[in-house]
Structure 1
């Protein structure tokens, strides 16, 4: 693959990842759709698009996902939606990204990896930024929404670790979406039984379909197409742009303000994670 095509696909995938945060927040703040319905439509749409894509690509019918990964995918999608009922776009994306990276770094430590002193400093900086973001105050994000988004990041980190190195990642993703979709339907049924009502309108439905079919289904397919051509360090660090892109989208499309607390926390969290990832990959390349 040519460098220019790789760069274009990578940029498109990163915009898609940020678009998930923007579409979810847009739907839950400005339309009548509820979080359970958004999750269900998103996963159903993603499953359909990925199934059609694997049929089009004629990928071999092997490694079609598994239930543990599907449960992690469902947990991510559900917590993600309910978190964005109360969280601004930028804050949600930052918490999600931070939790994903923390999960994957934590797994590496559990598996026996050792951190360089500079990585330890980066980890401390990132944790300090997260703590500073969540401390009580006028500009602190809602605690319940924050905990839900951290849970979504944990689930997505687990999903990413389970899918690492898949031989046919697009098809595996399709299989996991197909398994997660009925779980989301069950969530909607339970939500209706608990609330006595479920809400949806045309705009909310359109945003949920776009999130599932475009920024999730096709977005993941584009990312997996570009991934083999990217160095590990590059693949990890370019994702640092996702919360920034989500913040810009929130400002432009939703009129959200970026507080000083969020700006400082973002610099600490993203800078700390970048230090851990970059130093770690350089160390691995030096052996």
Structure 2
């Protein structure tokens, strides 16, 4: 039990670290978002490949592990995530991402025929209303372009999560998807460099990108998939509510980000709403 709790905490810290490393890389160094994303995905793919094991059997299975659709949604999540963090704070970005992922999956479940119960409906309404309040125009509203980009990133991650539900070997499929993103990311990097006539490389930015790819992404996902079978479905959903809170704490400690009243109120209500919708999810 203690081992499961420790590994779960480690995975949540890794997920939150993605937001912190990305924000630090893009706000404190000169690396551009496309270069950051490419390094993150390539280093993550390498870490996962080594983790699974460079074996002849594994090498052959890369062709069947994961999918191009999964890789595309993973790549879309990563690139929009990076561009969003040009203007959003670490905690705010994590909250918008998390809310978008959960809302995407809730909407998909309803579309597929799930009918939420009364308390679940209350939770959904609270989460939607608080999210609308968070992003509505005002003096302390988040940057609209950054918010839109993070919402798209969250939707992409929601799609990726839905695609992965049927995986029989989540770690291997994650490796396959990361490996498939490499040519996509390299292609995007070349196109971006040619069209913008810029190629912004920064050693400190590269370090942050590698930390995000190897530890926060590659190792973080591996630990999460290791511990996931030991968690109930409801517990797995609720425990992820800690990610925006951890990212917010990291933003305050490492990026000197300020908490606004709007953020505190909205984040509390969003997490409460999602918790209600998850805990009281109707069984069908």
Instruction: State if a TM-score over 0.5 links the two structures.
Output: yes
Bigger shift: 51-60 or 22-31?
A: 51-60
What TM-score comes out, normalization by structure 2 length?
0.96
Question: In the alignment, what sits opposite 1:21?
Answer: 19
Taking the aligned partners of 1:247 and 1:57, their CA distance within structure 2 comes to 40
Task: Tell me: CA distance 1:265–1:276, structure 2 relative to 1, closer, same or farther (3 Å).
Answer: same
Gaps in structure 2 of 5+ consecutive residues: none
Q: Is 1:71 aligned to residue 69 of structure 2?
A: no
CA distance in 1, matches of 2:55, 2:145: 42
In 2, the alpha carbon distance for the partners of 1:101 and 1:65 equals: 22
Among candidates 43, 47, 50, match of residue 49 of structure 1: 47
Structure 1 residue 165 displacement after superposition: 3.5
Residues 115 and 182 (structure 1), Cα distance of their counterparts in 2 relative to 1, 3 Å cut: same
Write the distance in 2 (CA, Å) between the matches of 1:65 and 1:87. Answer: 31
User: Do 1:24 and 1:208's aligned partners in 2 also have CA atoms closer than 8 Å?
Assistant: yes
Deviates more, 1:53-62 or 1:27-36: 53-62
When the two chains are superposed, the root-mean-square deviation of aligned CA atoms in Å is 1.4
Per-residue CA deviations over 1:248-285 (Å, capped at 9, x if unaligned) read: 000000000010000111011111011100000xx42x
Deviation of 1:182 after TM superposition, in Å, equals 1.2
2:134 paired residue number: 133
Q: Quote the residue 2:204 is aligned against.
A: 203
- Pairing of 1:155-166 with structure 2 (within 5 A): 155-166=156-167
Deviation at 1:188, TM superposition (A): 1.0
> Deviations along 1:77-133, whole A, 9 cap, x unmatched?
000000000001111000000000011111110110001111111111111111111
Alpha-carbon distance in structure 1 between the residues aligned to 2:100 and 2:182:
24
- Alignment partners' CA distance in 2, 1:167 and 1:56: 20
TM-aligned CA deviation for residue 186 of structure 1? 1.2
Task: Give the match for residue 32 of structure 1.
Answer: 30
1:59–1:171 Cα contact (<8 Å) kept:
no
The equivalent residue for 1:147 is 148
Alignment of 1:1-287 (within 5 A): 3-55=1-53, 61=61, 63-280=64-281, 283-284=282-283
Q: Deviations over 1:6-61 (max 9, x none)?
A: 11110000000000000000000001100000000000000001111111699863
Q: Gaps (5+ residues) in structure 1?
A: none
CA separation of 1:170 and 1:245: change in aligned 2, threshold 3 A? same
Rounded to whole Å, the distance in 2 between the matches of 1:68 and 1:106 is 20
Q: Distance in 1 between matches of 2:182 and 2:192?
A: 15
SS at match of 1:113: coil
- Report if the CA contact (8 A) 1:118-1:276 is conserved: yes
SS in 1 for 2:152: helix
Q: 1:59 to 1:258 in 2, by over 3 A?
A: farther
SS in 2 for 1:164: helix
SS at match of 1:138: coil
